[in-house]
Amino acid sequence: MSTDLFTARPPLSILSDEEQAFRSAVAEFVDGEVRPRVAQMERDAKLDPALIKAFFEMGLMGIQAPEEHGGAGGTVMMVTLAVEEISKADASSAIMVDVQNTLVAHPLLAAASPAQLERWMPRLCSELVGAYALSEASSGSDAFGLQTRAVQKDGGWVLNGRKLWITNGAEAGLFILFATVDPAKGYKGITAFIVEREMPGFAVGKKEDKLGIRASSTTELILEDVFVPDANVLGPVGQGYKIAIETLNEGRIGIGAQMIGIAQGALDAAVAYVKERQQFGKSLAEFQGIQFQLAQAATELEAARLLVYNAARLRDAGQDIAQAGAMAKLLSSQVAERTTSLAVELFGGYGYTKDYPVEKFYRDAKIGTIYEGTSNMQLATIAKGMLR
């Protein structure tokens, strides 16, 4: 279904033959493996373990990882296409793939030692779910106001603290976790650690009961005297803030891809519905007022998509993407909210029920303006880039 709906539209951006083939393969996978599970996963508020296994088997959990480490040796653009396609069916499923590729694999590929890559990357590509642990109760938008402490001890570090809003927390076996080694140094005291789930003193706490992306786990992490060996320090001590910033910059492209996928899924459903729904002796699609609303939504969505694709292309070219990523996330999240809201309205009363897909798209879209940097934080980043 998703492939047919996409190819029915004239292309407004160009993909390479390899990218076209990859997107088509993901779309086929989504129709076969994701869509049939969406309703049940939404009811259970949990991803189907069989689907997670299928993500690994499809190679979607290691798209950017080098082939020598078991990955596909792909690009950020390919991650973007995968997340977009999956999000057309289910944003919860897409965010697992997104986090694995942009928030876990990326910092490892950027900062890990050869020994660390050899130890963890093949498993992350084949069977090990990862998570990114930065946020805390008192450090959301103030991302570097961390209270989690790391104190040096012979051969390693002892970590104490709590993390909140950790995506994939329930499923992850490995966490890219940030802690402060010297509060007096501010952000320059932050260090990244590779924390393994089975380490004594580490526990996954409360799972949040959320408005949207309900099948995606969002949890608390609890660290009580967790000993992390020196071999698990990611990058130089005191340089964790650089790893965090660069990772979030790329992560915003993934969120942008999620948002345009959600918006496209809602718009596809709305277009199909107005063609069939009859009022006053003709289909809703024949009313010019509705045609104009759909045309406006499609135009805004394409503008957001091009921003997201451009940010991905820039990242693959090794360019600074702080501003481009912020713009892509800002606009795509706004467009997703508007488009899904319109879809609910076009469905009328049916759109407000769980019998039709648009109410889920509507709920799932809201998180885009919040996580990995609120809309105000994106505006601040954009303004900083303009006025520096």
Q: What is the mean pLDDT of residues 115-128?
A: 98
Q: What is the mean pLDDT of residues 234-258?
A: 96
- Mean pLDDT is lowest, of 10-24, 58-72, 109-123, for 10-24
- Going by pLDDT thresholds of 50, 70 and 90, the confidence category of residue 11 is low
Instruction: Indicate if 359 belongs to the active site.
Output: no
Do 2-129 and 131-238 have matching folds? no
Predicted pLDDT at 365: 98
Q: What is the mean pLDDT of residues 93-115?
A: 98
Query: 132: which 2 tokens?
Result: 């990114």
- Going by pLDDT thresholds of 50, 70 and 90, the confidence category of residue 1 is very low
Residue 153 CA to residue 4 CA, distance in Å, equals: 58
- Going by pLDDT thresholds of 50, 70 and 90, the confidence category of residue 7 is very low
Contacts of 148 (CB under 8 A, 6+ apart): 136, 159, 160, 161, 162, 163, 177, 178, 179, 180, 223
Res. 247: pLDDT tops 70: yes
Q: What is the mean pLDDT of residues 88-115?
A: 98
Predicted pLDDT at 104: 98
- In 3-state terms, what secondary structure has residue 98? helix
- Going by pLDDT thresholds of 50, 70 and 90, the confidence category of residue 6 is very low
Q: Quote the percentage of the chain above a pLDDT of 90.
A: 93
- Going by pLDDT thresholds of 50, 70 and 90, the confidence category of residue 5 is very low
- In 3-state terms, what secondary structure has residue 223? strand
Contact 241, 187 (CB under 8 A): yes
Predicted pLDDT at 354: 95
- Going by pLDDT thresholds of 50, 70 and 90, the confidence category of residue 13 is confident
Res. 153: pLDDT tops 70: yes
Predicted pLDDT at 9: 57
Q: What is the CATH number of domain 242-387?
A: 1.20.140.10
Mean pLDDT of all residues belonging to the chain: 95
Residue 272 CA to residue 276 CA, distance in Å, equals: 7
Q: What is the pLDDT of residues 163-199, one digit of tens each?
A: 999 999 999 999 999 999 999 998 999 999 999 999 9
Hey, where are the domains in the chain? 2-129, 131-238, 242-387
At the second CATH level, the architecture of 131-238 is Beta Barrel (2.40)
Predicted pLDDT at 371: 94
Q: What is the number of helices (H) and of strands (E) in the chain?
A: 13, 10
**CATH class, 2-129 region:** mainly alpha
Q: Tell me, what amino acid is at 270?
A: A
31-70 in b/e burial notation, b at 16+ Cβ within 10 A? bebbbebbeebbeebbbbeebbebbbebbbbbbbbeeebb
Q: What is the mean pLDDT of residues 55-66?
A: 98
Res. 234: pLDDT tops 60: yes
Predicted pLDDT at 295: 97
Catalytic residue chosen out of the listed positions 220, 250, 337, 372: 372
Predicted pLDDT at 10: 55
Res. 31: pLDDT tops 50: yes
Q: Quote the percentage of the chain above a pLDDT of 70.
A: 97
- In 3-state terms, what secondary structure has residue 287? coil
